[in-house]
Structures are given as C-alpha cells and as structure tokens.
C-alpha cells in the first residue's frame, strides 16, 4: 500500500505519522509530502529516514491513499488531482465536509456509507468528531430533539503558533500572537472567524457537520466555542433533550457499549474526563452524566478527547483502515 501524508511537517501531520506507526498501518511505500519550502527536509518514520517531497511529485507517484492535513486551499487544489490518478483522498480540512457529493465520516458511526467510488472523503472537525461519538448512539436509542454545546478547546487546534504564544506568555516573553488577545490565564470565546449570523465558523461546523453525520437535520443544535490555555485536548459541556424518557444508567450502558467511547463517571472517586488524561489517547471520554432537573427528558454530560488524535489523525487513519479492510482501495 503506497500511502502519502500531505502536510507531514505540520502539527497534525506529525501525530498522523505516530498513529500510522502505532496501528501498524500496512504501508509498503510512504510518501511524506509538504509545501515547496519543506521539500528535501528529512523526517523519520519507524526508524527510517525519508525526504519530504512536493505535491506534483506525490501525484505522479499515484499512491493508493493520500491523507491530507495541509489546509483547505491546498485540499481544494490538490485533492482532485490525486483523485484523477486513482488515489483515495482522506481530507482533514473543512474544504469538502459540507459538499453534498463528499461523505463526512466517523468510522464508528457511518463508515458503511463508503464505496470504492468515494475518492475524496472528508474527515470532520475535531470538536464535531468527539461530539457525534457520544451523540450518535444516544440519538439512535432515545432520539435527540435539541443539543446545546459549549466547547473548551485546546490551543493545539489552532496550531504551532498558538502553542508558541502560550509558552511565550507563560515565560513573560513578547512574541507573535496567534490570537487577538493573550491566551495565558484567559478564555477567548472566539474559535475561527465570525460569520454574519454572529456565530463563529467553528460553532457552525459543529451544527452543520453533526446533522450531516447523523443524517438528520431535525436535530436542533446550537454551540458556543471557547479557546482555553490547554494543550491536551478539547472538552465539551453538552445538554441534550430527547424524544423518549430515559434513566442515566441506560445512558451509561449505551455509551459504555459504543466502540471508541470510554465512560469515566464516578463522582464518589472524582472520576471524570479531563484533557490531561485524554492527551495521547485515541478514545472519546464521557462523564458527568446527569439528568437536567429543569427540563423533561433532558441530560447533561461532559465529553473530552485529544483533538489531534481522534479529533484528526486517528479518525483519518481509521477511515483508511476501513477502506483497506473492505477492499475499497
């Protein structure tokens, strides 16, 4: 299996290589691809040194799978060129997610929608992935009428510049700003750009992508996305209103039986999900499961995941694994 990792030198790209190695992805030839300024850079994968190549060179190599994590503009330009030579593209950007002709896939939920004809497959937004991992099984069982989501998102979702900003501010060093305000000892209710409706792009991604993955536009979802000075992962406070009555033991049972979800929910021992514990792990962690005492058939819960792993790299690699296992590439 000839595999290209496009954006290999970036933050998600480096995690992608870790996940590919950890899961023993069946690679016979690896192409590490980046922008022209990184061509020739040396990188190591499983103890072997590779030279970074450019996009044109990578297309000419006709890999079976190309995993993109290089930004929307790069994906819009280059994903079709890979697809034209027979490559199946798994794209981490927002470029193709809401295109009706492209599948938006979380393998545990809707990988069965994929066919050999799907040559550009969209990987959802990081905060969407962890949300739907918990919502999908509950929607199937109880029917979600409405969801109110507040996110507490890691700076790693912004990228290396944001990590550098936090580190500089912690040390009292003036440097380049990834955000319009200091992030150290702060919370910024502003993820991505503001749209005309007053919501940010991140908040609308949560709304629109969730409905597409659940294949149900009747789910009323509203979101507020906040950036916090944390490295380990994204957290989400979620309030759900169901069509059906439930008890919390049923909720825990459904989530515990969902592949890729781990319930951490014991207030007697102060057991609940936190980014510090989620960092470096591939599961989605759910806790603080409790009935909303103010509203009929309603529930509160807390969801945490490593946004660079299940929120990006791991989900993309799992899509690749599904394609191979089912003879779709």
Cα–Cα distance for residue pair 120/313, rounded to 1 Å: 16
Which residue has 């290589």 as its token pair? 17
Chain centroid offset of residue 181 CA: 25
Q: Which of 126, 139, 190, 191 is catalytic?
A: 126
125 closest CA partner among 148, 104, 99: 104
Hey, what are 231's tokens? Answer: 């490295």
Residue 268 CB burial class (10 angstroms; 0-12, 13-18, ≥19): exposed
Cα–Cα distance for residue pair 18/81, rounded to 1 Å: 26
Q: Order the strands of the 29-33 sheet from edge to edge.
A: 29-33, 2-6, 65-68, 88-91, 120-122
How many degrees, rounded to 5, is the angle at CA 275 between CA 18 and CA 166? 85
Cα–Cα distance for residue pair 204/216, rounded to 1 Å: 16
Chain centroid offset of residue 144 CA: 22
Q: Which of 139, 190, 191, 234 is catalytic?
A: 234
Helix (H, G, I), strand (E, B) or coil at 42: strand
Tell me, yes or no, if 234 is annotated catalytic. Answer: yes
Tell me, yes or no, if 126 is annotated catalytic. Answer: yes
40 closest CA partner among 29, 31, 53: 53
Cα–Cα distance for residue pair 37/319, rounded to 1 Å: 29
Q: What H or E segment, with its residue span, contains residue 303?
A: strand 298-305
Q: Which residues are catalytic?
A: 126, 234
């Amino acid at each position: 299996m000839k595999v290209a990792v496009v954006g290999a030198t970036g933050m998600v790209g480096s995690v992608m290589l870790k996940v590919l190695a950890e899961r023993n992805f069946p690679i016979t030839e690896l192409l590490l691809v980046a922008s022209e300024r990184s061509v020739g850079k040396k990188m190591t994968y499983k103890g072997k040194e590779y030279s970074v190549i450019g996009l044109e060179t990578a297309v000419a190599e006709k890999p079976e799978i190309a995993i993109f994590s290089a930004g929307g503009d790069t994906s819009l330009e280059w994903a079709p060129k890979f697809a034209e030579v027979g490559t199946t593209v798994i794209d981490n950007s927002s470029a193709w997610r809401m295109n009706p002709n492209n599948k938006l896939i979380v393998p545990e939920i809707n990988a069965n929608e994929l066919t050999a004809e799907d040559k550009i497959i969209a990987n959802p937004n990081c905060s969407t992935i962890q949300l739907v991992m918990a919502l999908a099984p509950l929607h199937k069982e109880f029917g979600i009428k409405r969801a109110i989501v507040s996110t507490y998102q890691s700076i790693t979702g912004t990228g290396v510049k944001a990590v550098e900003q936090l580190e500089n501010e912690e040390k009292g060093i003036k440097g380049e700003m990834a955000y319009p305000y200091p992030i150290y000892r702060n919370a910024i209710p502003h993820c991505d750009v503001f749209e005309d409706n007053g919501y940010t792009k991140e908040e609308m991604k949560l709304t629109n992508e969730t409905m597409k993955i659940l294949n149900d536009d009747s789910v009323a979802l509203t979101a507020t996305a906040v950036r916090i000075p944390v490295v380990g992962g994204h957290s989400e406070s979620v309030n759900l209103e169901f069509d059906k009555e439930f008890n919390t033991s049923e909720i825990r049972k459904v989530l515990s039986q969902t592949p890729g979800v781990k319930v951490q929910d014991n207030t007697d021992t102060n057991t609940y999900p936190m980014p510090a514990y989620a960092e470096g792990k591939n599961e989605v962690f759910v806790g603080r499961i409790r009935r909303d005492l103010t509203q009929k058939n309603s529930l509160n819960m807390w969801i945490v995941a490593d946004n660079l792993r299940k929120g990006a790299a791991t989900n993309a690699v799992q899509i690749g694994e599904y394609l191979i296992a089912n003879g779709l590439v």
